[in-house]
Structure 1
Amino acid sequence: MTFSISARCPETGMFGIAISSSSPAVAARCSHTRAGVGVIASQNVTDPMLGINGLDHLAAGMSAADVIDTLVASTPYAAFRQLTVVDNTGATAGYSGSGALGIHAIAKGTGAISAGNLLADEGVPAAIVAAFEAASSVPFPGRLLAALEAGLAAGGEAGPVHSAGLKVVRDLEWPLVDLRIDWSDAPIADLATTWEVFAPQMEDYVNRAIAPGEAPSFGVPGDPA
């Protein structure tokens, strides 16, 4: 019912996740990332606390593999969970419990990991990672989105998806990008459209937070520009 990619950008230090599901508002439950720390997807039968606790473990110095081991050992319902972790070195680790739904798989790349369950084909995560790696010239958020689009093209879920999200952190206390389509008949396409609108303004919103007097005008009625 979900497929995702989590990754670290070695050039910028950004962490990010792109995710889609047949369930509503998947990104609200399953996407967990923290600047300078890492990124975690907690999916299948979702427990958001695994993502929250996992980031705390990463911040305390655990590796991605150690975090997976700790999270699996800490929950009595590990069989229901599917998890991926990327740490601040770019190391990755993943876990699919015995109760992962339908066809499920995990694929790893350099600083990236994809996982899915209730998939149309077990090769979907590998297609996602391959697309991410092939888009190396694309800015990091766009690479994540391109990878998610490739997962859909490779078959995606066994049924239609209805929600999607893109979340990226950099050197701020808040996400640089946090875009969500919580219910749609074409959530990944809608997410791509939203990114196209947001991308040219992304740094403007950072500047408005840090140095509003030097930021570009809003271009709305009443703006002194």
Structure 2
Amino acid sequence: MTFSILAIDGNGAVGMAVTSSSPAVAARCIHLRAGVGGAASQNVTDPRLGVELLDALETGIGARAALDGVVRKRQLIEYRQLTALGLNGESATFSGAETLGVHHDRTGSGVVAAGNMLSGTEVIDALIEAFESSTGELEERLLSALAAGLEAGGEAGPVHSAGLAVVRTVPWRETDLRVDWSEKPIAELRELLKVWLPQRDDYVARGLNPAAAPSYGVPGDE
């Protein structure tokens, strides 16, 4: 049903890329907080768990303790698949006993990935290995990893939605791109990123100081 990758760049950014056979997967599964880290809540998704994981990470207890605390106090946790990642690179995973189909999770250096209803466990290995061998902006690396997972077999069936988000120093998502229903969501997400990435920093500047920010470069903008 879903596979995702959550990673840091070592310079304060944390981001996540996710894809699924269900619609609008990014709306439910991506949880990021600037200066804190990230979390994924997937499988039979409860978005509240992502928020709880970020709240726990913000206390400074670390990814493993944060995830263990959320798992211990939640009913129906056996239906959930969770990942957590702090800005220090510590990560943790949980796949409940009712996680759907072939499922797998894996941690790496500043990266964690998980998936369910997969064509095979090698999909998650491909995500981690593609990220660790990649270069460039965090957004580009996350999307390359997601594409590698699809190339390795992806889900047991076709994927139809995908999303990519990254936070850095400001308290909003500097990048937040979604393809909510498509026959080729990852390819379309890549096209969106090509349009977005050259403009990303300008939109942050406009939010912080409109008077000193770059022009919009659209008709009527002087």
Does the TM-score normalized on the shorter chain lie above 0.5?
yes
- Supply the AA of the counterpart residue of 1:18: A
| Residue 74 of structure 2: aligned partner | 75
Aligned to 2:197: 199
Within 5 A, what are the aligned runs for 1:1-225?
1-10=1-10, 12-135=11-134, 137-224=135-222
Separation of aligned partners in 2, 1:74 and 1:51: 14
Output one character per residue of 1:179-205: Cα deviation in whole Å (capped at 9) or x when no partner.
011111111001000000000001111
Over residues 69-102 of structure 1, what are the superposed CA-to-partner deviations in whole Å (9 max), with x where a residue is unaligned?
1111121111100000101211010010000000
Deviations 1:94-128 (A, max 9, x none): 01000000000011110101100000111111100
Amino acid aligned to 1:91:
E
Q: Which SS does the other structure have where 2:22 is aligned?
A: coil
- CA distance in 1 between counterparts of 2:219 and 2:14 reads 36
Tell me the distance in 1 between the aligned counterparts of 2:93 and 2:220.
Answer: 51
AA at the equivalent of 1:100:
T
Cα distance in structure 2, aligned partners of 1:88 and 1:153:
29
| Structure 2 CA distance for aligned equivalents of residues 45 and 157 of structure 1 | 15
Q: Residue 49 of structure 1: SS of its match in structure 2?
A: helix
Shift in Å, 1:161: 0.5
Query: Aligned equivalents of 1:62 and 1:27: distance in 2?
Result: 26
Shift of 1:213: 2.0
AA aligned opposite 1:161: V
Q: Superposition RMSD on alpha carbons, in Å?
A: 0.8
Q: Unaligned regions of 5+ residues in structure 1, if any?
A: none
> Percent identity over the alignment?
52
Q: Which amino acid aligns with 1:29?
A: R
Shift in Å at residue 22 of structure 1?
Answer: 0.4
Alignment length (residue pairs): 222
Taking the aligned partners of 1:95 and 1:29, their CA distance within structure 2 comes to 17
Maintained 8 Å contact 1:108/1:126: no
Where do 5+ consecutive residues of structure 2 fail to align?
none
Q: Residues of 2 paired with 1:18 and 1:8: CA distance? A: 12
Displacement, 1:214? 2.2
SS of alignment partner, residue 70 of structure 1: helix
Distance 1:69 1:176 in 2: 29
Q: TM-score, normalised by structure 1?
A: 0.97
Matched letter for residue 205 of structure 2: N
Cα distance in structure 1, aligned partners of 2:140 and 2:87? 20
